């Protein structure tokens, strides 16, 4: 792994920690602001996964669609099957058991491992793709860290424990990138891109969009469209 890729990986990991820090800054965040962040993130992630990552995966493997489905199912299993209570954004349910916070952190941690893999494989494939994937990761890793800290806090965890949850997600991201970087063959590029695209599609479509659309306001659909527009703007700028 070159120094450039390692810097991207660490910066993405720090986004998880920053998200946990944002939660700790104040006891209650404006609901519309959170939904706007989630909506723009969902639009950007969907665009990166469908427009760039999936076609690139098809260039390296004829089983790209199957790998996308695998990535989709992996995140689903760890976020909503092995975890009994989970949703993005600020946790508003009081009296949750400590096991809920642990399970949610572990579920997000598995997804964070995939995030790290996505950053490294994208950087190895093409610098522009690497930048786009990195931006998508930062855009949703901040809410991931925020969510982990919020759930841990709702279970009665201390501020240090909430911050530690964000740190765990960041470490998991770096571990995922390092694990992929030591694979001996470039034959893993297609599967890795497919799994990463599937995980992004899952988080955007089933985790973020339901939270965005829970309250029907003009910001909900406009935020998603703005995220897609931001992707195409970044795509054009990086192309020049």
At 76-98, the pLDDT tens digits run: 887 776 665 555 656 555 555 66
Angle (CA) 57-63-64 rounded to 5° is 30
87 compared with 64, residue with greater pLDDT: 64
Residue matched to tokens 């571990």 = 175
DSSP 8-state secondary structure symbol assigned to residue 89: S
pLDDT of 131-165, one tens digit each? Answer: 999 999 888 888 888 878 887 787 777 888 888 88
Residue 10 pLDDT greater than 60, yes or no: yes
pLDDT band at residue 46 using 50, 70 and 90 as cut-offs: very high
Q: What is the C-alpha to C-alpha distance for residues 222 and 238, in angstroms, rounded to an integer? A: 24
Taking residues 188-207, what's their average pLDDT?
89
Indicate the average pLDDT of the chain: 83
Q: Which two tokens stand for residue 128?
A: 């522009």
Q: What is the pLDDT of residue 201?
A: 93
Q: What is the C-alpha to C-alpha distance for residues 211 and 4, in angstroms, rounded to an integer? A: 34
Distance of CA 27 to the CA centre of its chain: 23
Q: What is the pLDDT of residue 185?
A: 61
pLDDT band at residue 126 using 50, 70 and 90 as cut-offs: confident
């Amino acid at each position: 792994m070159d120094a450039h890729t390692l810097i991207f990986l660490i910066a993405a990991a720090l986004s998880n920690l920053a998200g946990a820090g944002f939660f700790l800054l104040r006891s209650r965040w404006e609901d519309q602001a959170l939904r706007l962040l989630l909506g723009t993130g969902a639009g950007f992630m969907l665009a990166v996964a469908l427009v760039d990552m999936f076609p690139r995966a098809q260039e390296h493997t004829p089983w790209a669609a199957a790998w996308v489905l695998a990535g989709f199912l992996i995140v689903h299993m760890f976020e909503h099957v092995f975890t009994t209570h989970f949703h993005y954004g600020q946790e508003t349910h009081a009296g949750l058991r400590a096991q809920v916070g642990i399970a949610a952190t572990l579920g997000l941690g598995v997804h964070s491992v995939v995030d790290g893999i996505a950053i490294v494989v994208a950087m190895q494939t093409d610098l522009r793709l690497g930048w786009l994937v990195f931006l998508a990761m930062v855009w949703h890793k901040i809410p991931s860290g925020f969510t982990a800290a919020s759930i841990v806090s709702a279970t009665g965890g201390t501020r240090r424990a909430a911050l530690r949850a964000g740190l765990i997600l960041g470490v998991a991201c770096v571990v995922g990138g390092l694990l992929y970087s030591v694979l001996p063959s470039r034959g893993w590029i297609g599967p890795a891109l497919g799994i990463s695209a599937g995980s992004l599609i899952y988080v955007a479509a089933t985790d973020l969009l339901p939270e965005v659309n829970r309250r029907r306001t003009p910001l909900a659909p406009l935020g998603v469209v703005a995220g897609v527009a931001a992707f195409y703007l970044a795509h054009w700028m990086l192309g020049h």
